[in-house]
Amino acid sequence: MLDYLFGDPEPFFNRFPRENFAQYESIAAEVRLGSESFQLERFIGLDGMKTKVEIDGTSHDLKGFQHWLLGKLDYPPVRYPKGVSSLERTWPELSFRTLYRHIYRQQRFWSDLADRQTPIETSACILQFLDLAADVYGEDLQKLRSLRERADRHAVEIYAGRMALWLMAGGSTAELPDAKALNALNPKRIVSKLQEELSALEAAIQLGPESTAPAQIPDRARLEQLVADARRAGEGHERLRSAEVLQSWSSTSEVHLKQTQQEIWELSERIRLADLSDMLKKRTDFLCEAMNEYLRLVNQLNPQLWRHRDVSIRISRRNELQLCVGDVQWDRALGGSDGLLFLMAYHYGLLSLSAQDEFRYPGIVVVDFPAYFRGRAISEIEGLVTKPFADLLEREAFSTCQVIFVGASFSGENRCHRIMLDSGYLH
C-alpha cells in the first residue's frame, strides 16, 4: 500500500482484493522531507481521484507528484539513455518512481537490485544517489550521443545511395559489393554513364517521315520497335533523374557526415578534459566499502554466514555500473539465499550515503522480508540481518534517517519501535 501511496500507476484493486478493502476510502501518511512535514493521501476508489495524490489537501496528478518529490529532495532533473541501438534510444526522465524501487523492497522482489529495471536504469539510479547522474548524463554527453546517432544516419544514407547507384549501373542483387567497393564508387561517373546511354538511345530512335501518306506508314514491326524505344527512353529519363537525385543526396550526406564527425571530435575532447573517472571511482568505492562493512558485521555475529569475496563495482566505458562479488556479476556469483544477504548489504550501503554531504540518498530504507531465508524461517535470523542497521541508526550522523522492516517478529531487539500485528485487520 505504501507503493500505491507513492504513485504506483496500477489501479489499486488490480493488486489487492476488492472484498478485503471495500470499507477503506484512502491511504494516508505523514511524511517528513528535511525539516518540513506533509500529509500525503491517495484515495482508493473515489472517481476522479484514482490517479491523484493529495499533498496537504491539494490534489496532484501522478506525474506532478513525482516532480514535487524530486524537487523537495533537491534532485537535479536527469535524462538517461534507454534503448539498445541508436535508432531505438530515447532519453526518458529519471523519475522518483524509478529511484523508489531502490528505497523500498517489496516482499515479492528479491531477485535483483530493483524490480523490473534494465541495467542502465539501475545505473542511473545509483549515479543519482552518488550525485553524479547530472554529470554523467549531462548536456554534453547527451549532445555527443545525439551527434553519434546523426553520424550513423548519414552513414546509412550514404550507403543506401551508393547501393542504389550501383544497382542502376548494372550491379546484381545476387552479388552485392562490400563496403570497400561501395566507398570506391564514383557517383558522378555513374550519372555520366547513364547520360551517355540515354543520348545514344535517343539518337538511335527513328520516328520516320512526317508525311501521313499510306505508302510511307512504317510497317507493324517498325512501329513496335519505335514504341519499345520510346518506352526505353522514358525509363532512361526516369533512371537519370533518380540517379541525379541520389548523387545529390549522397554528396550532401557526405558533407554532413564530415561536419558531424568534426563536431564529435571537438566535443569528445571537451568531455575528455572534464574526465569523471576519478570521482566516479571514489564514490563507488565508498558504496562498496559500506556494503562490505555490513557483510563483515554480519559475519561477526554469525561466522561464515558470508563466505564470498568482497563487493566491487565494475564501471563500463559508458559509465554504466555493475555490482560484482569479486570479479563476477553478483547475481551470477550468488545463489538465492546469499543473494538476500547481498541485497541487505546494498540497502545498508545506500543508507550509509545519507551521512555524507556529497551524496544524495534520501535517508530511508523500507524492506519487506520474504518468509524464508536459506531454508529457515526469517524469524530465526531477522535480528541478525537487521542489527547492523540498528547500530548504524544509533550514530549521531544518522539521527534523522529511518529504517522500516516488515517481518515475522523481530524479537530480542529493544532499541526499535515495533508495531505488533497480532490480530487480523482485514474484515
| Contacts for 151 with CB less than 8 Å, ≥ 6 apart | 257, 260, 261, 264
Q: How far is CA 64 from CA 2, 52, 69, 92, in A?
A: 18, 9, 9, 16
Report the chain's C-alpha Rg in angstroms: 34
Q: Please, what's the largest Cα pairwise distance for the chain?
A: 122
User: Residue 42 has what DSSP assignment?
Assistant: E
- Do residues 343 and 113 lie in contact, with contact meaning Cβ atoms separated by under 8 Å? yes
For each of the chain's 427 residues, which pLDDT tens digit applies? 888 899 888 888 888 888 777 788 889 999 998 889 999 999 987 788 888 999 999 999 999 999 999 999 999 888 887 766 555 567 888 999 999 999 999 888 888 999 889 899 999 999 999 999 988 887 777 787 788 888 888 787 777 766 666 666 666 555 666 666 666 666 666 666 666 665 665 565 544 444 444 445 555 565 555 556 556 555 555 665 665 666 666 677 778 888 888 888 888 777 665 667 888 999 999 999 999 999 999 999 988 889 999 999 998 877 789 999 999 999 999 976 788 899 999 999 999 999 999 999 999 999 998 877 656 667 777 788 899 999 999 999 999 999 999 887 776 667 778 777 766 555 4
Integer Cα distance of 173 and 206 in angstroms: 34
Q: Which residue has the cell 548523387?
A: 247
Residue found by looking up cell 501518306 in the block? 213
